[in-house]
């Protein structure tokens, strides 16, 4: 399913490049609002889990992907430079523990929101119908509604889990293509630095911790409207 989604995104991005149409003026003061499907695809890595400070050799955690409604708003500061804000409906992920004695144990369900602000550069002429861009900026990810799964509770007992919020850099590449005077197709990719510490406090008094680099690729395709 993940591979099929990536192929679909790539096909649409190629379609944007190959399509033809009339000119789209991106000028100082313009606002472009875009909406579409956004997939968060974690490129995760973690430290070994610790139990009361002692490492559990060979253990780690993974984070699965999710797709939600993505929204972006870009304000053109000049004809070439825009400031963009990325938002979305909350993403939901399953965290799974790997390695003995907890191999493939679905550990928790968590939600997050990743508001991201980027400064974008548009290299093409303002009248070009095809408008590729690159961006660099800052991400803030907040985690909420963290819940241990029933599988985890059956294996290790009840407790609470908390993931720390994260600040990190964001890099972006994307493109708009004009469909009419104000409507565009859009495809965009971000790589975002998201690092967190997950802490589980068990009712037994024990504590499990791990540092997780989620570092997702975010793929978005959709449509936009220029004001």
Per-residue pLDDT band for 16 (boundaries 50, 70, 90) equals: very low
Give the length of the chain: 227
Region 160-179: what's the mean pLDDT? 96
The per-residue DSSP string of 161-221 comes to EEE--EEEEEEEEEEEEESSSSEEEEEEEEEE--EEEEEEEETTS-EEEEEEE---EEEEE
Tokens of 6: 């990536």
pLDDT tens track for 43-99: 999 999 999 999 999 999 999 999 999 999 999 999 999 999 999 999 999 999 998
HEC profile of 98-150? ECCCCCCEEEEEEEEECCEEEEEECCCCCCCCEEEEEEEEEEEEEEEEEEECH
pLDDT tens track for 134-162: 999 999 999 999 999 999 999 999 999 99
Range of the domain at 18: 2-226
CATH number at residue 6: 2.40.160.20
Number of structural domains found in the chain: 1
């Amino acid at each position: 399913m993940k591979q099929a989604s990536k192929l679909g995104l790539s096909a649409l991005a190629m379609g944007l490049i190959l399509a033809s149409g009339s000119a789209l003026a991106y000028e100082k003061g313009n606002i472009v609002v875009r909406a579409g499907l956004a997939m968060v695809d974690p490129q995760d890595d973690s430290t070994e889990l610790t139990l009361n400070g002692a490492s559990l050799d060979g253990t780690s955690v993974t984070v699965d992907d999710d797709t939600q409604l993505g929204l972006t708003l870009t304000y053109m500061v000049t004809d070439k430079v825009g400031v963009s804000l990325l938002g979305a409906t909350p993403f939901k992920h399953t965290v799974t523990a790997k390695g003995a004695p907890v191999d493939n144990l679905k550990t928790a369900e968590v939600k997050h929101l990743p508001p991201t602000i980027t400064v974008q550069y548009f290299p093409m002429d303002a009248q070009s119908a095809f408008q590729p861009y690159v961006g660099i900026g800052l991400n803030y990810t907040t985690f909420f509604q963290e819940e241990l799964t029933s599988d985890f509770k059956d294996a290790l007992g009840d407790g609470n889990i908390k993931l720390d919020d994260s600040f990190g850099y964001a890099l972006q590449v994307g493109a708009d293509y004009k469909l009419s005077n104000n409507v565009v197709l859009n495809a965009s990719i971000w790589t975002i630095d998201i690092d967190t510490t997950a802490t589980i406090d068990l009712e037994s008094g024990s504590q499990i911790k791990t540092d997780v680099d989620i570092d997702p690729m975010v793929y978005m395709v959709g449509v936009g409207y220029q004001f």
